């Protein structure tokens, strides 16, 4: 860590690519929101997902937080079509098969009420007479479109996906499209957690 290191959290809106370069003139990217040189996302959120994105110019930290071997938790609020039963939740918790891969055990619970999320633009497409529900899912890995594939595998397609935390960092109080530097206390917690997980991994 140096005095030039930057650590930023961003509340990514729907429809924004988790990168600074455009792939076509129509794409909205991080450059449209964040004017900070040489920072890059830790992991990614798909263009149609929302929520917490961490950016830094600390390459070592990027590696430790992105590598699934270190088991950093990421928590999502997931709106699904229909209301999952306990059998589906148990399958999500213990692991499901997606594209010849079995997911790791996850923490999954049905939220009792609508979570405090921003309005999405455009709004999701509801099907009349089909109820929806929100799940809280905490994963320690991030395969391509994993959450969406997991809920589809148990019969409850994802309609909306919002990441609310990465480890101890939370989206609380950050408005849609806003970013800020980590506080000193957040940074201490983040770096300490990253070091401890790295030591534990390589001491096995």
Residues belonging to the active site: 46
Q: How far apart are CA 199 and CA 70, in angstroms?
A: 9
Considering just the CA atoms, what is the radius of gyration of the chain in Å?
17
Which tokens belong to 189? 């917690």
Separation between Cα atoms, residue 31 and residue 71, nearest integer Å: 29
- Strand intervals (E) in 33-157: 40-41, 50-56, 74-81, 97-98, 101-102, 107-110, 132-139
CA distance linking residue 98 with residue 141, whole number of Å: 13
Pairing of strands 50-56, 158-166: parallel
- DSSP label at residue 101: E
* Sequence-distant (≥ 6) Cβ neighbours of residue 192 within 8 angstroms: none
């Amino acid at each position: 860590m140096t005095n030039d290191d930057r650590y930023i959290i961003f509340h990514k809106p729907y429809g924004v690519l988790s990168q600074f370069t455009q792939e076509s003139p129509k794409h909205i990217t991080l450059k449209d929101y964040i004017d900070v040189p040489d920072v890059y996302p830790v992991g990614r959120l798909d263009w149609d997902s929302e929520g917490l994105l961490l950016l830094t110019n600390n390459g070592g930290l990027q590696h430790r937080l992105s590598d699934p071997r270190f088991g950093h938790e990421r928590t999502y609020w997931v709106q699904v079509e229909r209301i999952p039963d306990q059998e589906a939740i148990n399958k999500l918790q213990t692991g499901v098969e997606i594209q010849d891969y079995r997911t790791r055990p996850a923490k999954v619970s049905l939220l009792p009420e609508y979570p405090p999320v921003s309005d999405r633009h455009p709004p999701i497409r509801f099907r009349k007479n089909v109820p929806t529900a929100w799940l809280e899912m905490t994963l320690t890995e991030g395969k391509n479109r994993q959450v969406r594939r997991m809920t589809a595998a148990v019969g409850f397609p994802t309609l909306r996906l919002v990441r609310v935390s990465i480890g101890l960092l939370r989206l609380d109080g950050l408005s849609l499209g806003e970013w800020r530097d980590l506080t000193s206390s957040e940074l201490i917690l983040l770096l300490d957690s990253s070091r401890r997980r790295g030591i534990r991994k390589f001491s096995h």
